[in-house]
């Protein structure tokens, strides 16, 4: 979450007057980038992760675990440390992690000091790199504080004390019944975002997650904390129906944007490769959401869902009643089916394999924007994608940056682009930067340990390589992907649900659309040269990459029309175990294709063994021999002596749960249902050793791989 420009943000009444200006110039800015960089090829397949933490503050005497609101001080200390370390370790700047602010004033985000290259050794350093970051964060905290990678904080917004220092709920920005405004990062961008979303919507946001009904849960469950209170005029909403019975009602942006996640960003070697990667990630999004599910508790209540996604979607849902289809269109232009934080609405790769039938969502677009883009030669699919993102208004506009040189800035473009928070993001290169076309995979929930976070990151990286190298085809209709998003939320979705997935991952055959990258040109480290991000000279990389780009529809003579049958015959319903581990018959599963890809390389035995340690977690979470984080948390609650089977997570249960998570992470508490026996924990690792290990395998920043700052989450 970067770009924390200091300036004067406009309040909503003023900002909306300038919405067209921002949209119009945003599109011009994109067109400048497009014209300059649409034909750029040869970028290295760099990648990097983002991990978000909650700073926990223990009150051991009171047996309470709270959110420490010390983000600002901790970040300042970390930044000071980083500049000191840079002075004492010249040439190793790229090994020094970067910490970023986030929405919650108790949150931190970390990224590696520079992106990883595409070689297999880089994959082996990911866990150490993540552990190093956690150690650094921990080193700047008080003795009663700890950085934990929890997706949602179980008692945020529950009655009692859940922040350190304590603030009573309320405040003029979010107007929440449950959260104090002090929970929000005080940088002016965040309160403005919060207030302007509320103002644009014309009401407070309202999220209702189904409550887990236990044997002693009162029925119907009507939350007394809602109905007794009336601080702001908007609070009438809750009594008038915004808060549903038998649900956990949440009324502020902090409930969603205050969740943590694990994201992975990839640079592709060309715009077409990025579009192809984007499309392949779309159906994988809900599968990984279900597999990483880690948020079964909200506002001190056990939920009947395991994931955060719908909470965040609701928490920034700025659509008016007209846009939500609750009132006839009078002042607004579109009925919009989804929040600006939601799953992807359309595929974008211009290729025969991407059949028009797959883009079957009801998806409003701004026709004038589409036309403007197509006028300048942007193809219909990409023009539609941006014409859809640009139906949204900019929420935060800084007075000082209203007028920009569209050939040099992308601020207006990013304003809209980065407040469309989808499961996958297609990221054009920033102007004047060595960074290429990128794709961000955004659906995963953050896991309790860096072993798990690294395992999921490594799996997704290897999956990308398999997709690109084996020419895999994951297309199913987007409406089915949305249905999968819904199913992914369900309690214990890994066991309780089936998901739509494509039956034949290798169809249509190469030559009919998306041909694979030829696996010729093996280079160092056993990887084909075109995916080797390091150790090669630039020339090798670019020439190899550009000569092996795939065949988009409009550019390739080899792109014959494939014979397609009915779309409905292409997909089926599978369990997560089948999707990941295969069905034991024809369907290889995602791990199957990853292994097929690894088998095609000349990988050293010890490297392969280490990679298999990561893949083991993915395999076992999917086959049920290890439980998901959410299931482990539920089991912990159910077996806690103080749990009354009334769906309520008390301060005491929360404290013990957080302590247990902390001990698991350190490796001093073994949880064999959650983690494989090989998990060692972070307590043994020394900061100095981790630094050395990171430095052994991070790209030198001097190679031009500077970390870009964008608008985040």
Q: Which residue is nearest to ligand ADP (CB)?
A: 48
Site for Mg ion in 42-71 (CB under 5 A): 50
Say if residue 684 is exposed, middle or buried (CB neighbours under 10 Å; 0-12, 13-18, 19+).
exposed
Token pair listed for 10: 């406009």
Q: Select 428 or 681, whichever has its Cβ closest to Mg ion.
A: 428
Closest contact distance (angstroms) between CB of 546 and ligand ADP is: 17
Q: Which does 656 bind (CB under 5 to 8 A by kind): ligand ADP, Mg ion, none?
A: none
The residues, ordered by sequence, that sit 6+ positions from 566 with a Cβ below 8 Å of its Cβ are none
Distance of CA 620 to the CA centre of its chain: 22
Q: Which does 132 bind (CB under 5 to 8 A by kind): Mg ion, ligand ADP, none?
A: none
First to last CA, the chain: 5
Q: Which does 191 bind (CB under 5 to 8 A by kind): ligand ADP, Mg ion, none?
A: none
Closest contact distance (angstroms) between CB of 533 and ligand ADP is: 9
Q: Select 264 or 493, whichever has its Cβ closest to ligand ADP.
A: 264
Question: How far is 162 from 154, CA to CA, in rounded Å?
Answer: 10
With CA atoms as reference, report the closest residue to 293 among 280, 309, 316, 313.
309
- Asked if 263 interacts with Mg ion (CB under 5 A), we say yes
Token pair listed for 245: 């019975």
The residues, ordered by sequence, that sit 6+ positions from 427 with a Cβ below 8 Å of its Cβ are 265, 417, 437, 438, 439, 440, 710
**Of the candidates 1, 193, 280, 389, which one interacts with ligand ADP according to CB under 6 A?**
1
Token pair listed for 106: 């108790």
Q: Which does 115 bind (CB under 5 to 8 A by kind): Mg ion, ligand ADP, none?
A: ligand ADP
- Asked if 100 interacts with ligand ADP (CB under 6 A), we say yes
With contacts defined by CB under 5 A, name the span among 69-77, 261-269, 618-626, 692-700 that binds Mg ion.
261-269
The residues, ordered by sequence, that sit 6+ positions from 248 with a Cβ below 8 Å of its Cβ are 208, 209, 210, 211, 223, 298, 299, 301, 303
Q: Which does 49 bind (CB under 5 to 8 A by kind): Mg ion, ligand ADP, none?
A: ligand ADP
**Of the candidates 318, 411, 440, 578, which one interacts with ligand ADP according to CB under 6 A?**
440
- Asked if 147 interacts with Mg ion (CB under 5 A), we say no
- Asked if 189 interacts with ligand ADP (CB under 6 A), we say no
With contacts defined by CB under 5 A, name the span among 255-263, 278-286, 312-320, 662-670 that binds Mg ion.
255-263
Closest contact distance (angstroms) between CB of 616 and ligand ADP is: 24
With CA atoms as reference, report the closest residue to 667 among 678, 682, 689, 685.
682
**Of the candidates 74, 183, 274, 435, which one interacts with ligand ADP according to CB under 6 A?**
435
**Of the candidates 176, 184, 267, 614, which one interacts with ligand ADP according to CB under 6 A?**
267
Report helix, strand or coil for 617.
helix
Size of the site for ligand ADP (CB under 6 A): 23
With CA atoms as reference, report the closest residue to 626 among 675, 663, 661.
675
With contacts defined by CB under 6 A, name the span among 110-118, 177-185, 203-211, 641-649 that binds ligand ADP.
110-118
Question: How far is 600 from 595, CA to CA, in rounded Å?
Answer: 8
Closest contact distance (angstroms) between CB of 96 and ligand ADP is: 12
Closest contact distance (angstroms) between CB of 52 and Mg ion is: 5
Residue found by looking up tokens 């009324």 in the block? 251
The residues, ordered by sequence, that sit 6+ positions from 552 with a Cβ below 8 Å of its Cβ are 272, 275, 349, 350, 351, 559
- Asked if 111 interacts with ligand ADP (CB under 6 A), we say yes
Tell me how far apart the 2 most distant CA atoms of the chain are, in Å: 73
Say if residue 232 is exposed, middle or buried (CB neighbours under 10 Å; 0-12, 13-18, 19+).
middle
Question: How far is 69 from 51, CA to CA, in rounded Å?
Answer: 18
- Asked if 318 interacts with Mg ion (CB under 5 A), we say no
Question: How far is 183 from 325, CA to CA, in rounded Å?
Answer: 32
Q: Select 392 or 438, whichever has its Cβ closest to ligand ADP.
A: 438
Q: Are strands 297-298 and 301-302 parallel, antiparallel or unpaired?
A: antiparallel
Q: Select 353 or 423, whichever has its Cβ closest to Mg ion.
A: 423
Token pair listed for 375: 């006028």
Closest contact distance (angstroms) between CB of 440 and Mg ion is: 5
Token pair listed for 77: 């200390």
- Asked if 712 interacts with ligand ADP (CB under 6 A), we say yes
Site for ligand ADP in 37-56 (CB under 6 A): 46-50
**Of the candidates 43, 49, 109, 452, which one interacts with Mg ion according to CB under 5 A?**
109
Give the contact letters, 346-385, x = binds to ligand ADP (CB under 6 A), - = no: ----------------------------------------
Residue found by looking up tokens 């090994």 in the block? 95
- Asked if 112 interacts with ligand ADP (CB under 6 A), we say yes
Size of the site for Mg ion (CB under 5 A): 5
Answer for the pair 25, 209: CB distance below 8 angstroms, yes or no.
Answer: no
- Asked if 650 interacts with ligand ADP (CB under 6 A), we say no
H or E stretch covering 361: none
Give the contact letters, 575-604, x = binds to ligand ADP (CB under 6 A), - = no: ------------------------------
Residues that bind Mg ion (CB under 5 A): 50, 109, 263, 712-713
Residues that bind ligand ADP (CB under 6 A): 1-2, 46-50, 100, 111-112, 115, 265-267, 435, 438, 440, 705, 707-710, 712
């Amino acid at each position: 979450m970067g770009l924390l420009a200091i300036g004067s943000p406009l309040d909503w009444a003023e900002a909306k007057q300038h919405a067209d200006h921002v949209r119009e110039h945003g599109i011009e800015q994109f067109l400048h980038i497009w014209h300059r960089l649409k034909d750029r090829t040869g970028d290295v397949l760099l990648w990097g992760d983002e991990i978000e933490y909650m700073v926990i503050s223990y009150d051991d005497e009171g047996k309470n675990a709270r959110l420490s609101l010390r983000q600002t001080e901790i970040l300042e200390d970390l930044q000071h440390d980083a500049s000191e370390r840079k002075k004492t370790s010249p040439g190793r700047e790229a090994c020094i992690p970067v910490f970023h602010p986030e929405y919650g004033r108790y949150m931190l985000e970390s990224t590696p000091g520079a992106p990883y290259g595409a070689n297999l050794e880089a994959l082996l350093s990911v866990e150490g790199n993540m552990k190093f970051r956690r150690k650094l964060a921990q080193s700047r905290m008080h003795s009663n504080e700890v950085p934990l990678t929890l997706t949602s904080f179980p008692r945020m917004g529950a009655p009692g004390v859940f922040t350190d220092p304590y603030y009573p709920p309320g405040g003029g920005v979010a107007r929440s019944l449950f959260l104090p405004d002090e929970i929000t990062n005080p940088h002016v961008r965040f309160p403005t975002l919060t207030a302007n979303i509320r103002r644009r919507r014309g009401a407070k946001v309202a999220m209702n997650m189904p409550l887990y009904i236990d044997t002693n849960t009162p029925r119907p469950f009507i939350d007394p904390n809602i109905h007794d209170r009336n601080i702001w005029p908007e609070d009438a909403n809750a009594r008038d129906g915004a808060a549903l019975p038998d649900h956990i009602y949440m009324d502020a942006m902090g409930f969603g944007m205050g969740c943590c996640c694990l994201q992975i960003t990839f640079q592709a070697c060309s715009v077409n490769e990025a579009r192809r990667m984007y499309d392949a990630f779309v159906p994988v999004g809900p599968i990984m959401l279900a597999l990483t599910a880690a948020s079964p508790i909200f506002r001190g209540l056990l939920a009947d869902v395991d994931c955060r996604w719908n909470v965040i979607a609701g928490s920034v849902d700025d659509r008016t009643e007209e846009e939500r289809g609750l009132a006839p269109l009078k002042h607004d232009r579109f009925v919009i089916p989804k929040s600006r934080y939601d799953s992807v609405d359309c595929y974008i790769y211009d290729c025969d394999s991407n059949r028009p039938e797959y883009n079957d969502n009801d998806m409003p677009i701004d026709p004038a924007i589409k036309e403007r883009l197509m006028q300048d030669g942007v193809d219909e699919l990409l023009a539609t994608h941006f014409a859809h993102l640009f139906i949204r208004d900019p929420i935060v506009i800084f007075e000082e940056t209203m007028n920009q040189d569209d050939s040099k800035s992308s601020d207006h473009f990013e304003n809209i682009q980065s407040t469309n928070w989808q499961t996958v993001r297609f990221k054009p290169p920033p102007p004047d930067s060595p960074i290429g076309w990128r794709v961000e995979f955004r659906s995963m929930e953050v896991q309790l340990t860096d072993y798990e976070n690294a395992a999921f990151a490594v799996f997704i990286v290897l999956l990308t390589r398999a997709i690109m190298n084996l020419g895999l085809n994951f297309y199913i209709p987007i409406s089915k992907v949305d249905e999968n998003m819904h199913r992914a939320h369900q309690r214990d979705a890994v066991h309780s649900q089936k998901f739509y997935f494509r039956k034949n991952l290798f169809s249509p055959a190469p030559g009919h659309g998306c041909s694979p990258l030829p696996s010729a040109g093996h280079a160092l480290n056993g990887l084909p040269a075109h995916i080797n991000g390091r150790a090669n000279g630039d020339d090798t990389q670019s020439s190899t990459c550009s000569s092996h780009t795939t065949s988009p529809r409009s550019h390739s003579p080899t792109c014959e029309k494939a014979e397609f049958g009915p779309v409905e015959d292409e997909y089926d319903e599978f369990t997560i175990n089948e999707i990941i581990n295969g069905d034991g018959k024809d369907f290889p599963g995602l791990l199957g294709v990853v292994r097929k890809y690894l088998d095609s390389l000349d990988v050293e035995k010890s490297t392969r063994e280490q990679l298999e340690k990561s893949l083991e977690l993915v395999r076992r979470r999917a086959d049920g021999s290890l439980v998901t984080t959410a299931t482990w948390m539920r089991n912990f609650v159910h077996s806690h002596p103080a749990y009354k089977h009334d769906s309520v997570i008390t301060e005491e249960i929360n404290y013990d749960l957080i302590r247990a998570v902390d001990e698991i992470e350190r490796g001093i508490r073994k949880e064999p249902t959650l983690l494989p026996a090989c998990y060692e924990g972070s307590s043994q690792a020394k900061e100095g050793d981790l630094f050395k290990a990171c430095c052994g395998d991070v790209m030198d920043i001097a190679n031009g791989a500077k970390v870009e700052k964008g608008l985040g989450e």
